[in-house]
Amino acid sequence: MIDPQMFQLVCFYAFAAVTVIAALSVITLRNSVHAVLALVLTFFSTACIWMLAEAEFLAIALIVVYVGAVMVLFLFVVMMLDIDQEKLREGFVKFLPVGLVVAVVMLVEMLGLIGVRVMHAQTMGVNPATAAGMSNTAWLGMALYTQYLLPFEVAALILTVGVIAAVALTLRQRTGVRHQQASEQVAVNARDRVRIVKMAAERPIVGEPGSQSAPAEEPKP
Amino acid sequence: MGDQILHQLIIPILLVVAVVLPLTLTVALYVYWERKVLGWMHVRMGPNQIGPLGLLQAFADVVKLICKEVILPTNANKFLYYTAPLLALIPALAAWAVIPFGARFALSNANAGLLYLLAMTSLGVYGIILAGWASNSRYALLGAMRSAAQVISYELAMGLCLVCVLVLAGSLNLTDIVNAQAGHKGILDWFMWPLLPVFVVYFVSGVAETNRAPFDVAEGESEIVAGFHVEYSGSTFALFFLAEYANMILVSFLASLLFMGGWLSPFPESVPVLGHTSFIWLLAKAFFFAFLFLWFRATFPRYRYDQIMRLGWKVFIPIAIVWVFVAGCMKYYGWVHIGTGG
């Protein structure tokens, strides 16, 4: 009834259309929070397209890493900033030529790339994961940890250096800040903090001001 | 032709209904059970007026919430204000698609099931953040901020715990992960023993991910009124409520599937009747974890915000990273022989 190939094609164009519209709204929406959400939608529909191409690991990694973590931080920052929309709009005409030049250069480059690809008539090879009879994730893991182990580890190392550098850049030592030391708190003995003193019970002295049990001075009849 | 429609459309939809409907009912009964347990722990009765033993209390609450007016705060962002509860609920329900309820029953027996779960649970935070921002209220925004930072921190620890599980199981498929824990020794074959520290870290991170006490700073009713959902009333509030409880039940199911052998019996196979695999075992384990959520709530005072961050980053993540190495060594050198079935 429904041709699977046809359905796949329709799905591809639908996801692609959503991606393009969402990407356009990222730069056209006035509200910056809306723009961030449009970017989230762009990522999400890109992940759907990758899923169609049977790159399930990349698709889900995109959602976990970008949608689930990076964009949440983005949203976090954008919500905290009080962006003055009018001020941002001021430079629009001034920067328009520069923007146009960049856009045109990018367009020409992309067209050139597409042209090269068409002339080579490069067709996509056989999906190596299906050829090996494994799921996409398993195949990717195999390839990364055997064939491409060194580049993979180097990339991981560079990222780690980046993380440490970012922390080092923002870390500042301040004096006079008191931090909670959980280990010290746990190590504390009750004996060091509380001293129990033995003493005889005190009885209120009759007639002294302030003592509750002093008999009220009743006028004698 | 009619056959194709039946197999591709109607049966999947019926299956989805067969999961979502009981889930919603379970949420209602879980809320009742929570109030009862909290009541007993506080030495009071809990709900006992509506229906036998107060069993209909949750349904009465649902009717009340649906009948209430939904009030839009002044200057709130109307579109996001109404989408936020949906954004919280949809991932909470979508995650159930890959949960296997038995050796042969899962809505989708996806190969990358665990990855899909990670993706879905990481999406739920958008509902909370957007609710906080769109309500145009300071308290709600504070709650959203706290929630965002907390969920991101604990997701890392949670992801690393899942890495340990999949190193031992050798698969991302949830059914395979459970089957990898099958063996002749019953309870001793489960992943909870070689992965004990990670198991604890996972469940506590799960409590933090669902914003439940003692990690409920996003709500923090004593400091920031009710956090992100302070401006929500009636049915929109009910949706947040439903999402939160569906997530709690999801974490309970996941903990029992990943670490406690899912539908496998704790008794060795040689024991008659009790040694059989059954859906009932999975339910019993999930019920135990769901009860832990309530027990925590009745027992622990709320963590302070900086203490939550310290616990996540300085305690849980290092433990999980070390245990990824340990799990790798276990697998590589064959230190533990668990799960002969895997």
> B163-207: per-residue pLDDT in tens?
888 888 888 888 888 888 877 777 777 888 888 899 999 999 989
Number of domains observed in the structure of chain A? 2
| Shared domain check, A57 and A133 | no
pLDDT band at B318 (very low <50, low <70, confident <90, very high): very high
Is A216 contained in some domain? no
The three-class DSSP label of residue B106 is: strand
Phi-psi region of A178 (alpha: psi -120 to 50; beta: other; left: phi over 0): beta
Is A67 contained in some domain? yes
pLDDT band at A153 (very low <50, low <70, confident <90, very high): very high
- For B273-301, what is the mean pLDDT? 86
pLDDT tens digits, residue range A112-150? 888 877 776 656 667 777 777 777 788 888 888 888 899
- Report yes or no: B3 at the A interface, CB cutoff 8 Å: no
Torsion, Cα A87 A92 A93 A96, to 10 degrees, reads 160
| Shared domain check, A113 and A42 | yes
Contact A33 B80 (CB under 8 A): yes
Question: For A115-140, b where at least 16 C-beta lie within 10 A, e where not — what string?
Answer: eeeeeeeeeeeeeebeeeeebbbbbb
B39 within 8 A of B57, measured Cβ to Cβ:
no
The two structure tokens encoding residue B279:
């859906």
| Shared domain check, A45 and A28 | yes
Is A206 contained in some domain? no
| Shared domain check, A108 and A136 | no
Is A36 contained in some domain? yes
| Shared domain check, A139 and A55 | no
Is A204 contained in some domain? no
**pLDDT above 60 for A220:** no
Contact A72 B151 (CB under 8 A): yes
| Shared domain check, A71 and A139 | no
| Shared domain check, A146 and A51 | no
Mutation for testing the B interface, residue in A79, A145, A163 having most B CBs under 10 Å: A79
Alpha-helix runs per DSSP H in chain B = 2-5, 11-41, 57-67, 78-94, 113-134, 138-169, 174-179, 196-209, 234-258, 279-299, 305-310, 317-333
Full domain range(s) for residue A134 = 128-171
| Shared domain check, A114 and A16 | yes
Query: From CA A78, how far away is CA A81, in angstroms rounded?
Result: 5
Of the candidates A37, A141, A65, the residue with the CA atom closest to the CA atom of residue B130? A37
B246 within 8 A of B293, measured Cβ to Cβ:
no
Closest chain B residue by Cα to residue A79 = B133
Is A87 contained in some domain? yes
Residue B102 per-residue DSSP state: E
| Shared domain check, A136 and A35 | no
pLDDT band at B13 (very low <50, low <70, confident <90, very high): confident
Contact A33 B133 (CB under 8 A): yes
Is A19 contained in some domain? yes
Give this prediction's pTM: 0.80
Choose among A2, A68, A75: nearest Cβ to B119: A68
| A182 chain-B contacts, CB cut-off 8 A | 310
Contact B152 A40 (CB under 8 A): no
pLDDT tens digits, residue range B217-248? 777 777 777 777 888 888 888 888 888 899 99
- Report yes or no: A40 at the B interface, CB cutoff 8 Å: yes
Of the candidates B249, B238, B237, the residue with the CA atom closest to the CA atom of residue B212? B249
pLDDT of residue A151: 92
Query: From CA A28, how far away is CA B40, in angstroms rounded?
Result: 56
- Report yes or no: B149 at the A interface, CB cutoff 8 Å: yes
Is A187 contained in some domain? no
Query: From CA B253, how far away is CA A219, in angstroms rounded?
Result: 78
Domain boundary pick from A171, A191, A206? A171
pLDDT of residue A159: 93
**pLDDT above 90 for A12:** no
Query: From CA A189, how far away is CA A194, in angstroms rounded?
Result: 9
Share of chain B above pLDDT 70, in %: 96
